[in-house]
Amino acid sequence: MFFPIGDLARQTGVKVPTIRYYEERGLLDAPRRSAGNQRRYGQAELERLRFIRHARDLGFSLGAISALIELQEHPDRTCEAATRIAQDQLDATRRKIRRLRALEAELSRITERCTGDGPSRDCYVLASLGDHALCEYDHATEDG
């Protein structure tokens, strides 16, 4: 059974332009074409797109997904690389969580220090945003 790109999009929750982008990136093979030159997808493409969607939902980069697909296409290979890729994603997720917890603590502290009823010149929120030295936690982003 083959279906058009719109059906593939509906079944996977992936937008049509994103499906085309994944084709351009080589994550999905070029689809079959109908006599009218419309893209036609089969079960294999549906499963691949579900795999990609789930991996994206878990935060994997397209590069990591490409490497995972490469491993999936060679079932005789060891899964060591897949485990390493997943571990790297887990480590990155844990770093993000630590950073978000620090941001939460700092924002909580800043908002608790501000009464919200004084003039803006005395606003602790505005003062904190203007002077990083007033912050208790290191939450500066990597890019500045």
Q: What is the CATH number of the domain that holds 55?
A: 1.10.1660.10
Q: For the residues 104-112, what does the mean pLDDT come to?
A: 91
Q: Residue 58 in contact with residue 89, Cβ under 8 Å?
A: yes
Would you give the distance in Å from CA 126 to the centre of its chain?
Answer: 31
**Structural domain harbouring 40:** 5-72
Which H helix or E strand runs over 33?
strand 32-33
Please give the tally of structural domains in the chain. Answer: 2
pTM of this prediction?
0.80
Q: Residue 80 in contact with residue 113, Cβ under 8 Å?
A: no
Domain identity same for 63 and 21: yes
47-76: pLDDT as tens digits: 999 999 999 999 999 999 999 999 999 999
